[in-house]
Structure 1
Amino acid sequence: MKILAITSQKGGVGKTTIATALAVAAEQAGKSVALFDLDPQASACFWSDRRRKELGEAGGTPTVRDIQIARLPSYLEAMREAGADLVILDCPPVHRDIAHDAASAADLILIPTKPEVFDIRAMQQTVAAAQQVGKPAVVVLTFCPPSGPEAEQARDIVRKQGADLASVSLHQRKAYGRAQMQGLAPQEFEPNGKAADECRELYNAITLQLYGGQHGKKGQSRKRA
């Protein structure tokens, strides 16, 4: 079982959007996956509630659980015993103790950031925190404008910081917000759209980081937390 923590010291950078999109992508790839919502705002749980309302019984997957950080080790062990392939941790901003404990449990830390000055500053702090716990970190740029120098400038800063940079960036696209409001991922809301392509590319990049050449088990029955 692999554990992916999605974290940033700053809010509004797309953590839950990415977490839900990657969870759906993992299920579509045949993996047994759970999404643990560690954020007191419980945005991922809200997404899951909307999903059940929109999709009915089919909205019960992927599994989303509201988890208190003190109970995280027990829930992770339960998922490991159940044979899960992947657990995604949706971490809150600001709460450094929660982020630290989640990062310590993770195999990989994904750090979303907008290509803006205050977000970049927060990203640098999050990368430093990941480096302190000795875990690999990947930065993904989010809400990138369609033109302008900001995204490339942000990439230069990430490289100088010593963190890996995801090969795909997520852009400002309406499909992200519209999918979230329906409890969907962009791949489901607009399968042939650009947002869906970005999510699939990000999932493939993260899978390569987590599993190397082994893309996990496919065609198995999905297990629930």
Structure 2
Amino acid sequence: MPARILTIAQQKGGAGKTTIAAQLAVAYARSGRRVGLLDIDPQGSLAAWFEVRRALVGPDGGGIAFVQAAGWRLATELERLRRDLDLVLIDSPPHAETEVRLAVRAADLILVPVQPSPMDLWATGPTLEIARREKTPAVVVFNRTPAKSKLVEAVRRKIAETSVPVADSVLGNRVAFASAMMEGRGVLESHPRHVASREVTALADEIAGRLGLA
């Protein structure tokens, strides 16, 4: 069976796409799935994380296949990963370039990270429009979310007006995520008993269910 494709997309930079891609990849690899990471962001933050990870756990990245590709190589690399793995996560750049459209078109699901702020809310529009045009289902996930904030519910209500679902799982604004990324790890490896690990596990399970992998 070809791999399921999860594209993480958001036009606004700094929304946490790379962190979410890395954390979910670790979670899925630890659950026994054959996982691939495809970095199509020219900034290469995911590639930098994976290089640190390779030095830590070995060339196989702890059971994660990694590819950095763009342009004409994107479709070829994606097809190869899809043929050999169970799940491929794509980290996309923060603008609506051709590669983003290809990644959205190829995806089974688009995950759109949103911080609870008006700027992030407004920035979701172009991403959701691309998903709508490509007829690819999307789900919004709150990231870097404060423990208590009326703004979270206000943003959630605004997203509900678009008819796009919001994930039940929420990722908090936690230092543990940045600390794990610095070490080339997932929080499930570096902070296994931390609330951040519970949040990532819940999100991974929810997304797996939406992809038909549960």
**Identical pairs, percent:** 36
Query: How much has 1:127 moved relative to structure 2?
Result: 1.3
Gaps of 5+ in 1: 216-225
Q: CA RMSD in A?
A: 1.4
Q: Does the residue aligned with 1:138 lie in a helix, a strand or coil?
A: strand
2:195 corresponding residue in structure 1: 194
Contact 2:187 2:197 in 1 (8 A): yes
Q: Which runs of 4+ in 1 moved over 4 A?
A: none
Gaps of 5+ in 2: none
1:175 corresponding residue in structure 2: 176
Q: Distance in 2 between matches of 1:56 and 1:184?
A: 12
Q: Distance in 2 between matches of 1:202 and 1:163?
A: 17
2:32 corresponding residue in structure 1: 30
Query: How much has 1:58 moved relative to structure 2?
Result: 6.5
Contact 2:110 2:131 in 1 (8 A): yes
Q: Distance in 2 between matches of 1:197 and 1:94?
A: 31
Describe the superposition over 1:11-60 as per-residue Cα deviations: whole angstroms up to 9, x where unpaired.
Answer: 10110110011111111111111100000011111001111223345645
Q: Does the residue aligned with 2:113 lie in a helix, a strand or coil?
A: strand
Q: Distance in 2 between matches of 1:103 and 1:127?
A: 10
Contact 2:37 2:65 in 1 (8 A): yes
Q: Distance in 1 between matches of 2:72 and 2:40?
A: 10
Contact 1:17 1:180 in 2 (8 A): yes
Query: How much has 1:171 moved relative to structure 2?
Result: 1.0
1:130 corresponding residue in structure 2: 131
Give TM-score scaled by structure 2 length: 0.94
Q: Distance in 1 between matches of 2:93 and 2:60?
A: 28
Q: Does the residue aligned with 2:161 lie in a helix, a strand or coil?
A: helix
Give TM-score scaled by structure 1 length: 0.90
Amino acid in structure 2 at the alignment position of 1:144: T
After the TM superposition, which of the residue ranges 21-30 and 124-133 deviates more from structure 2? 124-133
Matched, 1:12 2:14: yes
Matched, 1:139 2:134: no
Aligned length: 212
Closer, same or farther: CA 119–80 of 1 in aligned 2, 3 Å: closer
Q: Does the residue aligned with 2:139 lie in a helix, a strand or coil?
A: strand
| Aligned with 1:65 (options 64, 67, 90) | 67
Closer, same or farther: CA 149–105 of 1 in aligned 2, 3 Å: same
